[in-house]
Amino acid sequence: MLQKGEKAPDFTLPSTPEKSITLADLRGKNVILAFYPADWSPVCSDQMSLYNEMLKYFERYNAVLLGVSVDGAWCHQAFAKARQLHFDLLADFEPKGAVSRLYDVYAEGVSQRALFVIDAEGIIRWSYLSPIGQNPGADGILDALEKIK
Amino acid sequence: MPTLIPPVNALDHATGAEHATIELVEYGDFQCPYCREAFFIVKELQQQLGDKLRFIFRNFPLSEAHEYAMDAALAAEAAALQQQFWPMHDALYNRQSDLDETLLVTLATELGLDLHKFSNDMDTPRLLSKVEADFESGVRSGVNGTPTFYVNGKRYDGDYQDLASFLVR
């Protein structure tokens, strides 16, 4: 996976069937990229649901959160609606896993459970690969954001 | 292994002997069904371990997933200001299936709280800050879902169903 100090590769991915997000457009803000294997994992221990609760803490660090998986935009839309997620989920769907490969976190047909904190200049300041079955929480993200501040 | 940040302190709600050998901290959500299961497990542990166990509860309301989780956390904190944190904590889990705004007032009434003070306290920013501080400390401590337990300051990564066998080694 890409490491601290490397430039975060730019990409454009759909966040809804109608809208796309380009990483470079977010310069000036810190960006948290949370790659995860699939939508629809169990609720109470679900990583994306946890991050959804944390958006205001991330905002305090001028940080935007983006989830990324190989699920399609329609799937993301249904998932985000069901869990009432208030951040964008990006569809790394076509060509499948292209952005996950760019960040070197693609394996066995899915994005790995990987976190990147990218600073306002587009440099990776922290990255972490979690065992795929384990929710990594957000302590590492907050520590990384605090160091940028 | 993630550790508890900050360590247990005077702001915490704690029950059990002060110098107990086992300090068990839970980050919990009053509307989470798994926390309810864990509540009964902790009750049994308290019976079983007596003075060896000190139990501390910190709020980790998943307010986007659970409509009444934040209000319930505030109700427990408001009850704490009238020295009734644990009775409210227990009542919320015992009657979780009926949880809504009405239940909070019902429980406050049943516990004999000053209702005027209770509802004023629930709305104060100070109480919200307390709950949010608990939540943020949980994130810092590596909470990744509810319930998450810490045994003597270290995160317990096993299944909470097995807490008893872990503690009574």
**Tens-digit pLDDT profile for residues A26-51:** 999 999 999 999 999 765 568 998 99
| Catalytic site includes residue A75 | no
**Average confidence (pLDDT) over A67-92:** 96
Q: Which of B2, B141, B144 sits opposite A50 (nearest CB)?
A: B144
pLDDT at A45: 61
pLDDT at site B156: 96
Decide if pLDDT at B21 tops 70. yes
Mean pLDDT of chain A: 94
Q: Are strands B13-16 and B53-59 parallel, antiparallel or unpaired?
A: antiparallel
Q: Is the pLDDT of residue A74 over 90?
A: yes
CATH code for A12-148?
Answer: 3.40.30.10
Contact call for A53 and B140, based on CB within 8 A: no
**Which A positions 98-117 lie with beta carbon below 8 A of chain B?**
none
Band (pLDDT 50/70/90 cuts) for residue B157 is very high
> In A122-147, which positions are buried (b, 16+ CB within 10 angstroms) versus exposed (e)?
bebbbbeebeeeebbbbbbbbebbee
Torsion of CA B64, B69, B71, B72, to 10 degrees: 180
Query: Residue A140: what pLDDT?
Result: 95
Q: What is the pLDDT of residue B169?
A: 73
Window 45-84 of A, Cβ < 8 Å to B: 45-47, 49-50, 52-54, 57, 83-84
Q: For residue A133, what pLDDT is reported? A: 82
pLDDT at A149 (0 to 100):
76
pLDDT at B168 over 90: no
Q: What is the structure's pLDDT at A72?
A: 97
DSSP 8-class letter at B160: G
Average pLDDT over residues A126-132: 93
Q: Report the pLDDT averaged over residues A110-129.
A: 97
pLDDT at residue A111 in the model:
95
CATH architecture of the domain B13-167 equals 3-Layer(aba) Sandwich (3.40)
Residue whose pair of structure tokens reads 């509802």 in the numeric block: B119
Residue type, A121: E
Predicted pLDDT of residue A143:
94
Q: Give the pLDDT confidence score for residue A134 in this predicted structure.
A: 85
Q: Which pLDDT tens digit goes with each residue over B68-106?
A: 999 999 999 999 999 999 999 999 999 999 999 999 999
Catalytic residue among A5, A28, A43, A44: A44
- Beta strands of chain B (E only): which ranges? 13-16, 22-28, 53-59, 148-151, 154-156
Of B34, B140, B144, the CB nearest to A136: B144
- ipTM, 2 decimals? 0.82
Q: Give strand pairing partners of A30.
A: A63
Mean pLDDT throughout A67-72? 97
C-alpha distances (whole Å) from A142 to each of A103, A111, B143 are 21, 22, 13
Treating both helix axes as pointing N-terminal to C-terminal, what angle do B69-80 and B115-122 enclose, rounded to 10 degrees?
130
Assign residue B145 a region: left if phi > 0, alpha if psi is -120 to 50, beta otherwise?
left
pLDDT at site B115: 98
Cβ atoms within 10 Å, residue B100: 12
On whether any CB of chain B is under 8 Å from the CB of A31, the answer is: no
Contacts of B29 in chain A (CB under 8 A): 44
The confidence score (pLDDT) of residue A43 equals: 54
The predicted model gives B115-128 an average pLDDT of 97
A-B contacts (CB, under 8 Å): 54
